[in-house]
């Protein structure tokens, strides 16, 4: 066989790997968009029950075809403080089970080789999906076209890899070299390193399946390469954890210990089986007997069994694993300057791996920002009406947090808006820039009112009882308006929004009456010009606070 044929085989293998990776990404992004509402619903159900966490991790990974994306998303939840380490661990366990689906699909696609290969049949989905995407009327239909296209491309890439493997299998030098790699530890390391490079255990498993089917390697070699791919898949999570807080680092370490631990257990088990049987039985022999004549099914089934049994082993040990990583990465007393300045409560950049979940968490972060802004408004009213500055420190902390959230959330939204989103999510994300700005302005008006309170205190002045009563009436209406707006924003409740509009009209009338009553008090000498100036500014600022909350509610009409 000449060098031209060998070069062609190498290039064919690289092309197959590339197409397979692109196919995985295409399927993943479109599946995320299609199943966004279901994914959101699933993650809301994460609880203290470990089996539920495993189920959620399994279903999510099977749905989006990416254990890496699921794990990175979980790290984001942990870093944001939404998910405990125990909950994260169980979801990560499930992600390892879910990722075996790809191997099962690949194995299925390599059956029927004596007649019309299912690889050819499934490859045709690439063309069908492309036509659906091109001529589909709605965004949802185009997404389904993308899923079909990605599914078909999986098998186009698989066919190219298989073809190149068949070429290599005819070379005695290649076969002899691979046959010489019998050390199981070395095979695990090779599988781990290759997976770490391409950052896809699915591709590594698929390559191993094609190598076994074409006879390039034995089933037992393929098994240990696949086990190594589980360790290599931790690289994505470790990278995500390095740039995050200590909780995220702990979650990434749990993922590493879980995967490495599973491999160690099976290495020991394999050694014991071989020792007891006198070297006559190994994992390859066992699965060859269980699924005779179908090496692709044999390896795919081992991959599934390996991950399921690893979960069963580690599930009862979860608390011990959490305790171990907590000791390795202990709590630190000192806070970083970023933590002192503020933090995001519900979103983390790692969540951008799964845009539908990121959108859901973005809404929660905006509601949290609104709550902080509203609390500061209330603190400012207490200060100006009663010259009560007991909440000054909390007010200042909240103001710093609002500035921080405003700055960081805008960055997050910019990145999120550039990702593939469903039409509904895209409409929502596009409105959030205005909403974030409106809430930041509410914080600014609260800061203004606090400054008015400082002025009154320095001048040894204060509001009259009637003025305080009017401010309390204004406060009551703005609190009611805020409750309606949050309900409208959270549940897309148009009726609540209409009720908020009515309250806003009343706020406008209250503002007018406050101005009129101020003139009366000023003429009667009940209040001074300095007090009147601060009072009028307070009334005006309060009306604008209501306007900005209404602007937040109006965005519901844009989704």
> Distance between CA 91 and CA 458 in Å, rounded?
57
Mean pLDDT, all residues of the chain:
85
Q: What is the pLDDT of residue 189?
A: 93
Q: What is the pLDDT of residue 236?
A: 73
Fold of 347-558: Methane Monooxygenase Hydroxylase; Chain G, domain 1 (1.20.58)
Alpha carbon 452 to its chain's center: 43
pTM of the model: 0.70
Please measure the distance between the N-terminal and C-terminal CA atoms of the chain and give it in whole angstroms. Answer: 62
Q: Is 334 exposed, middle or buried (0-12, 13-18, 19+ CB in 10 A)?
A: exposed
**299 close to 103: Cβ distance less than 8 angstroms:** yes
pLDDT > 70: what percent of the chain?
90
Residue 259 tokens, joined: 């995967």
CA dihedral 391, 392, 393, 399 (to 10 degrees): 110
Q: What is the pLDDT of residue 405?
A: 94
- What is the DSSP secondary-structure string of 404-471? HHHHHHHHHHHHHHTS---HHHHHHHHHHHHHHHHHHHHHHHHHHHHHHHHHHHHTT----HHHHHHH
pLDDT in tens, 156-194: 887 787 777 777 766 667 667 776 788 899 999 989 988
Domain ranges of the chain: 3-328, 347-558
pLDDT in tens, 391-408: 999 999 999 999 999 999
Considering only residues 166 and 22, tell me which one the structure prediction assigns the higher pLDDT: 22
Q: What is the pLDDT of residue 335?
A: 47
- Taking alpha carbons only, the member of 223, 229, 228 closest to residue 298 is 223
Q: Examine the pLDDT at 548 and tell me if it is beyond 70.
A: yes
């Amino acid at each position: 066989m000449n060098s031209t044929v060998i070069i062609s085989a190498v290039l064919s293998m690289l092309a197959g790997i590339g197409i397979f990776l692109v196919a995985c990404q295409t399927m993943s992004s479109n599946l995320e968009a299609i199943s966004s509402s279901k994914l959101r619903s699933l993650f809301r159900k994460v609880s203290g029950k470990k089996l539920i966490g495993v189920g959620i991790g399994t279903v999510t990974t099977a749905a989006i075809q990416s254990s890496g994306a699921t794990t990175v998303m979980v790290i984001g939840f942990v870093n944001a403080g939404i998910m405990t380490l125990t909950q994260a661990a169980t979801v990560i366990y499930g992600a390892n089970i879910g990722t075996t689906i790809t191997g099962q699909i690949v194995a299925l696609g390599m059956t029927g080789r004596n007649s019309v290969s299912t690889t050819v049949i499934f490859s045709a989905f690439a063309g069908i999906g492309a036509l659906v995407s091109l001529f589909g009327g709605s965004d949802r239909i185009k997404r389904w076209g993308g899923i079909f296209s990605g599914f078909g491309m999986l098998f186009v890439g698989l066919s190219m890899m298989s073809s190149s493997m068949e070429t290599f299998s005819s070379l005695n030098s290649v076969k002899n070299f691979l046959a010489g790699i019998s050390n199981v530890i070395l095979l695990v390391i090779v599988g781990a390193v290759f997976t770490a490079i391409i950052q896809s255990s699915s591709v590594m498993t698929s390559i191993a399946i094609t190598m076994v089917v074409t006879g390039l390697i034995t089933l037992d070699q393929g098994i240990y390469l696949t086990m190594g791919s589980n360790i290599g898949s931790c690289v994505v999570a470790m990278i995500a954890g390095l740039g995050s807080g200590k909780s995220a680092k702990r979650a990434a370490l749990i993922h590493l210990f879980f995967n490495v631990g599973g491999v160690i257990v099976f290495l020991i088990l394999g050694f014991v089986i071989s020792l007891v049987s006198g070297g006559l039985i190994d994992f390859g022999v066992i699965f060859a007997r269980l699924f005779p004549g179908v090496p692709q099914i044999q390896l795919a089934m081992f991959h599934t069994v390996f991950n399921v049994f690893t979960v069963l082993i580690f599930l009862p040990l979860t608390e011990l694993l959490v305790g171990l990583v907590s000791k390795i990465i202990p709590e630190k007393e000192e806070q970083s300057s970023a933590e002192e300045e503020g933090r995001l409560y519900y979103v983390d950049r790692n969540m951008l791996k799964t845009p539908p979940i990121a959108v859901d968490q973005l809404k929660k972060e905006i509601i949290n920002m609104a709550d902080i802004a509203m609390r500061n408004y209330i603190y400012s009213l207490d200060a100006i009406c009663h010259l009560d500055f007991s909440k000054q420190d909390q007010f200042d902390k909240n103001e710093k947090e609002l500035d921080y959230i405003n700055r960081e959330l805008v960055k997050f939204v910019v990145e999120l808006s550039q990702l593939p989103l469903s039409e509904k999510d895209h409409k929502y994300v596009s409105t959030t820039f205005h909403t974030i700005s409106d809430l930041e302005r509410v914080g600014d008006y609260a800061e203004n009112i606090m400054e008015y309170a400082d002025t009154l205190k320095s001048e040894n002045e204060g509001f009259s009882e009637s003025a305080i009563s009017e401010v309390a009436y204004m406060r009551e209406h703005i609190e009611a308006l805020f409750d309606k707006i949050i309900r409208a924003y959270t549940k897309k409740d148009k009726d609540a929004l209409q009720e908020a509009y009515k309250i806003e009209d009343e706020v406008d009338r209250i503002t007018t009456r406050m101005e009129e009553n101020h003139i009366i008090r000023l003429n009667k000498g009940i209040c001074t010009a300095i007090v009147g100036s601060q009072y009028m500014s307070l009334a005006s600022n309060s009306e604008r606070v209501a306007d900005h909350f209404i602007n937040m509610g109006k965005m519901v009409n844009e989704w």
